[in-house]
């Protein structure tokens, strides 16, 4: 009887582990970075993502070696051709002069109309295909727009797809 209980307990534990793994890989999120990338690179261990108006196929975050500075966000969405995608990152914010390399806007490129599109906090781009991938990187607005800097302590990424 004891062996049967041990087997049942082992199967139950394996089921819990498998369910957790499925939930993680089914999230559509890929964590990148110089050190191989894991979800624990983020302050607090996670980034909460929400979208309205379309389907998220994939989100890729690239980070520096410390894992606390996001250097790129790439989002792939379906079902939104000719619609507008607004990305709103949340957390500490873009880097400033005192942080090293300054950034004061996002520069977004990809399957969009008229890119690159620049915005200080919540870039809004018109998608040209489905699926469409949009990549946003921190940038410096002064002079010619320059890709540089990072986003510190990214904790949320809100995405909204609208008709205008």
Looking at the domain assignment, is residue 136 inside a domain? Answer: yes
Does residue 129 fall inside a structural domain? yes
Number of domains in the chain: 1
Instruction: Write out pLDDT tens, residues 127-153.
Output: 999 999 999 999 888 767 778 888 888
Structure tokens at 128: 């040209």
Residue 83 is given by DSSP the state -
Residue-level pLDDT at 144: 75
Strand pairing of 156-162 and 48-52? parallel
| Domain assignment present for 23 | no
Give the whole-angstrom CA distance, residue 127 versus residue 21: 32
Percent of the chain past pLDDT 70, that is, above it, reads 66
56 domain-assigned: yes
Determine the pLDDT at residue 109. 95
As a whole number of angstroms, the longest Cα–Cα distance in the chain is 76
CB 155 within 8 A of CB 47: yes
Least confident of 58-67, 72-81, 118-127: 58-67
5 within domain boundaries: no
Domain membership flag for residue 2: no
In a domain, residue 9? The reply is: no
* Average per-residue pLDDT for the chain: 73
In a domain, 122, yes or no: yes
Distance CA 145, CA 164 (A): 26
Domain that holds residue 53: 28-162
């Amino acid at each position: 009887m004891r062996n049967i209980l041990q087997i049942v307990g082992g199967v139950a534990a394996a089921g819990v582990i498998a369910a957790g793994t499925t939930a993680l890989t089914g999230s559509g999120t890929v964590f990148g970075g110089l050190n191989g990338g894991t979800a624990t690179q983020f302050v607090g261990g996670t980034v909460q993502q929400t979208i309205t108006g379309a389907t998220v196929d994939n989100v890729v975050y690239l980070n520096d070696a410390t894992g606390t500075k996001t250097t790129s966000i790439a989002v792939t969405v379906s079902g939104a051709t000719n619609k507008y995608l607004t990305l709103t990152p949340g957390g500490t914010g873009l880097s400033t002069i005192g942080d090293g390399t300054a950034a004061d806007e996002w520069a977004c490129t990809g399957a969009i109309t008229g890119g690159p599109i620049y915005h200080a906090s919540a870039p809004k781009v018109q998608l040209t295909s489905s699926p469409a991938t949009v990549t946003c990187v921190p940038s410096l607005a002064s002079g010619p727009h320059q890709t540089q800097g990072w986003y510190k302590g990214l904790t949320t990424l809100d995405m909204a797809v609208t008709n205008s």
